[in-house]
Structure 1
Amino acid sequence: MFQVSPFDSKLYRQLLSDAATADRLGDAAQIRTMLRVEGELALAQAEAGLIPGDAAEAIAQAAASLTPEPTSLADGVASAGVPVPALVKALKAALPGEHARWVHYGATSQDIVDTALVLNIREILIDQQARLAAVIRALADLAEAHRNTLIAGRTRTQQAVPMSFGLKVAQWLAPLLNHVDRLEALRPRLLRLQLGGAVGTLAAMGGKAVDINERLAHRLDLVAGPCWHTQRDSLVELSGWLSLTTGTLGKMAQDWLWLAQSEVGEIRFSNGGGSSTMPQKCNPVDAEIIVAMARTSAAAVGQMHQTLMQEHERSGSAWTQEWFQLPQQLMASSVALNHAQSGLRFIEIHDQRMRANLDACNGVIYAEAATFELAHAMGRDKASELVTQCVREAMQGDRHLLQLIEDRTGEHIDVDQLARQLVAGGATGRWLTDILEQARLKTATP
């Protein structure tokens, strides 16, 4: 059914892949970026006086124009366990002998692979940050539009007390704001140059090593510093961020699925998939895919933590394991963000159904609010006892809770007034306003 995974399938591409992310994770992009690193390395070494300037220029030009087919490197990869030796051989073959000898001078294969990975991750994260900002803006707009819409708040799948639907949306939104901050904090630890040579000492570059490291980092707009061949904490931290982001979107999408159930019907998606024999169905495909991506990414985090355990100064096995997990998470995050944007474009809010569901059990959802309303006159304990009795009667009969309370106490509690207090008063209004203000600040165009 699949080539390697659904992410790679031509059949499932539009549903379970993202073209920009796939391009940057693909063979062609990896080769192109590794060649760029080789070219920039030569130029940095020439600037530092380690290799001849004319050789560096020739290497950089050849690296920019060389486009080897991935299959032409496959035998070399199978032999060396990494693509760089075969790629360096192809680059040297494109140069005259006096220049070819300076290709990849003093570097090691992992320097090139890891630096190329970081450069491609940077581009993927730029795309993902833009999509995340779009999701945040859409959620903020939805929350503002439904600030005063009443919905049943639910705990452990049961109706609990009424709440503002706008606040419910804001609670989907709030963790995403934290993820924006987390990504900004992560960037300097993640976007680092990898250049250490055989065991991280850059010994082959002698006294010019630090200068070359700094020059190459500047040319690639990365952070200079010691090599991190077996220090994979920044990539594992990225793995955690990807899982947090898809997991937060997954929680939102899980709510969508429950709210869109036929028996609940409080939201619906106008772009949902249908059925050839059940025309009444509108399957919430976007929500389903987001949940699947969240679970996929969460499963990869543990495997990424395994890659922290590396032997001595380089591990072939842990490094290879990383190649399986991190690209899957990067793709899952892009796919989840795409479906979140789509879902928010096509979501339909059925506020009348929300209100109907509030009264579905004769208004017992207002029990807490009624208790505190009556407590002003009769005290908390007495009010609680009276409301509990009325709740039992309401659940067993066909009369509304607030009418039963009025019959017993003569105290009229206006349900509409109570609803307005619940959606606009107290903490709800303040917290909703604060979250929306943060959303505007974090997604404002500089």
Structure 2
Amino acid sequence: MSSTVFDSALFRDMFGTAEMRAIFSDEGLVGRYLEAEAALARAQARLGVIPRDAAHAIDAAAQSIEIDYNLLRHETEIVGYPILPLVHQLSKASGDAGGYVHWGATTQDIMDTANVLQIRAALDVVARDLTELRGILADLAVRHRDTPMAGRTHLQQALPVTFGYKAAVWLSSIDRHIERLGQARPRVLVGEFSGAAGTLASVGSGGLEMQRLYCEELGLGQPSITWHVARDGIAEAVTLLGLITGTLGKIATDVMMMAASEFGEVSEPFVPGRGASSTMPQKRNPISSELMLAAAKSVRQHVAAMLDGMIHDFERATGPWHLEWISLPESFLLTASSLANAKFMLAGLVVHEDRMRANLDLTGGLIVAEAVMMAAAPKLGRQHAHDVVYGACRQAIEGGGKLADILVGIPEVVEAIGGADAVRAKCNPANYLGLCGEMVDRVVGALEVDASRPAGAAALAGR
């Protein structure tokens, strides 16, 4: 029986994806251990440290071995780590070459490198999903570039904006995350082969060349020095996931609030039965957004754990390393789930433009009081214009009525702005959108420039 949402038959696809689970499954992790052990043997054979035939045998065994997982689990519980039990099985499968398995390595070398290989595969998935989400948001921003709606600060209507502007703000964060991911790869994707205390004493003077070839075999960078107890690279990977899910949590919060009955400005895509209530037939709960928000809150806790886990003692830690075994896979699973929900929800988001316009009119024009004040200021002076419009707003709030009707009854305002029709035009929220459209164009235009770069440049940026 499963005991967590990550392996539950009921919940696992709500808090992860099959693709990401495969990367962090037992089979996926053990496969990376074997990949690292085989790469080490190949590198050592290239240097003549072990016989080439032995390296070939170890490599073949690593690819064909059938792991006894019950035995591996039992021995792991005894030893505390899975590498020694795994080496026993791989050595046996390698026949006469078995004595050369794990030559000069320490447990953490293999485990760290395997985790980095998992991270590389997982970051590829995250990068792909971010790129797809980028396209979805860009389309949303362009389609609603000029769709007016109420901008809100402190949960109060503030000034008019456009829905395209809101989507472009979301988009700008996603684009920065894509940039961060590319920048983080060289720091995070480095191998580990340093020996017991990190000095490579077990292999002697050729150790750094052996390390270089080992990393080369795996397509990883070579570290400048041992990182057994310098965990900033792993912590950076999870912190990046915290930033990504934080952005998705912000998007989810906006969508959930805009979908509330009192706002009614958007709806998540309709799927029969999705978000249904067991007692209220009318309900259509924003399930995707709720899961995105839950992921953001959960990954945030893992970021804190990873930062705590950076504090290792001396040359090999007594406990903090183990936090990574928990936080690393769960953070990637939650991020994958959040990205999958974001793509589904935003690709099919229903935008209720009429309701957005109706909500703009809720205050009877108060939302554009600043527009009137700024229009009258050149003639009346800013402070006097503020005081006059402030008085008109107070009258509208206390006595009811539309701000435009009150303002056209104030001669100095009418004269300052250029007539009653000009006053009414200033009170139209659609006429006070600032530079929303231009800002959308800037964000989407930046994406188009990025997409037009030569493939080689794009690939280099992602290395």
Normalised by the length of structure 2, the TM-score is 0.92
Amino acid at match of 2:211: N
- Number of the residue aligned with 1:90: 89
Amino acid at match of 1:249: L
Provide, for residues 188-229 of structure 1, a one-character-per-residue CA deviation record: whole Å limited to 9, x for no partner.
Answer: 110001100111111221222122111111111100132211
- Number of the residue aligned with 2:459: none
- Number of the residue aligned with 2:172: 174
In the alignment, the residues of structure 1 paired with residue 452 and residue 218 of structure 2 have an alpha-carbon distance, to the nearest angstrom, of: 27
Amino acid at match of 2:56: E
In the alignment, the residues of structure 1 paired with residue 177 and residue 333 of structure 2 have an alpha-carbon distance, to the nearest angstrom, of: 17
In the alignment, the residues of structure 2 paired with residue 270 and residue 303 of structure 1 have an alpha-carbon distance, to the nearest angstrom, of: 35
In the alignment, the residues of structure 1 paired with residue 449 and residue 322 of structure 2 have an alpha-carbon distance, to the nearest angstrom, of: 40
Match of 2:189 among 188, 191, 194: 191
Provide, for residues 39-86 of structure 1, a one-character-per-residue CA deviation record: whole Å limited to 9, x for no partner.
Answer: 111011000110001011001000111131432201211122111000
Residue 237 of structure 1: how far off its partner (Å):
1.1
- Number of the residue aligned with 1:295: 297
Aligned-CA RMSD value: 1.7
Could you list the runs of 5+ residues in structure 1 that have no partner in the other structure?
Answer: none
Is structure 2 residue 436 aligned with structure 1 residue 428?
A: yes
- Number of the residue aligned with 1:109: 107
Residue 417 of structure 1: how far off its partner (Å):
8.3
Residue 378 of structure 1: how far off its partner (Å):
2.2
- Secondary structure, in 3 states, of the residue corresponding to 2:112? helix
1:298-309 equivalences in 2 (<5 Å): 298-309=300-311
Is structure 2 residue 445 aligned with structure 1 residue 437?
A: yes
1:364-383 equivalences in 2 (<5 Å): 364-383=366-385
Higher mean C-alpha displacement, 185-194 vs 404-413: 404-413
- Given that 2:16 and 2:335 are in contact with CA atoms closer than 8 Å, whether structure 1 keeps it comes out as no
- Secondary structure, in 3 states, of the residue corresponding to 2:89? helix
- Secondary structure, in 3 states, of the residue corresponding to 1:7? coil
- Given that 1:28 and 1:70 are in contact with CA atoms closer than 8 Å, whether structure 2 keeps it comes out as no
- Given that 1:45 and 1:212 are in contact with CA atoms closer than 8 Å, whether structure 2 keeps it comes out as yes
Task: Name the CA shift for 1:77/1:235 in 2 (closer, same or farther; >3 Å).
Answer: same
- Number of the residue aligned with 1:129: 127
- Given that 1:41 and 1:216 are in contact with CA atoms closer than 8 Å, whether structure 2 keeps it comes out as yes
Provide, for residues 360-409 of structure 1, a one-character-per-residue CA deviation record: whole Å limited to 9, x for no partner.
Answer: 12121111111112223322222211111111121223311112111223
Query: Percent of aligned pairs with the same residue?
Result: 35
- Given that 1:297 and 1:332 are in contact with CA atoms closer than 8 Å, whether structure 2 keeps it comes out as yes
In the alignment, the residues of structure 2 paired with residue 217 and residue 353 of structure 1 have an alpha-carbon distance, to the nearest angstrom, of: 57
Is structure 2 residue 421 aligned with structure 1 residue 390?
A: no
In the alignment, the residues of structure 2 paired with residue 121 and residue 441 of structure 1 have an alpha-carbon distance, to the nearest angstrom, of: 29
Amino acid at match of 1:114: D
- Given that 2:253 and 2:293 are in contact with CA atoms closer than 8 Å, whether structure 1 keeps it comes out as yes
- Given that 2:308 and 2:320 are in contact with CA atoms closer than 8 Å, whether structure 1 keeps it comes out as yes
- Number of the residue aligned with 2:143: 145
Match of 2:275 among 262, 273, 276: 273
Residue 243 of structure 1: how far off its partner (Å):
0.3
Residue 415 of structure 1: how far off its partner (Å):
4.1
Instruction: Count how many residue pairs are aligned between Structure 1 and Structure 2.
Output: 442
Provide, for residues 15-57 of structure 1, a one-character-per-residue CA deviation record: whole Å limited to 9, x for no partner.
Answer: 2221111111110001111111111110110001100010110
Higher mean C-alpha displacement, 68-77 vs 194-203: 68-77
Task: Name the CA shift for 1:416/1:444 in 2 (closer, same or farther; >3 Å).
Answer: farther
- Secondary structure, in 3 states, of the residue corresponding to 1:8? coil
- Given that 1:164 and 1:422 are in contact with CA atoms closer than 8 Å, whether structure 2 keeps it comes out as no
- Number of the residue aligned with 2:239: 240
Is structure 2 residue 41 aligned with structure 1 residue 46?
A: no
Amino acid at match of 1:111: D
- Secondary structure, in 3 states, of the residue corresponding to 2:150? strand
Amino acid at match of 2:285: N
Provide, for residues 273-323 of structure 1, a one-character-per-residue CA deviation record: whole Å limited to 9, x for no partner.
Answer: 122432222111111100100000111111111111111111141111221
Residue 443 of structure 1: how far off its partner (Å):
5.3
- Given that 1:27 and 1:70 are in contact with CA atoms closer than 8 Å, whether structure 2 keeps it comes out as no
Task: Name the CA shift for 1:444/1:108 in 2 (closer, same or farther; >3 Å).
Answer: farther
Normalised by the length of structure 1, the TM-score is 0.95
- Secondary structure, in 3 states, of the residue corresponding to 1:163? strand
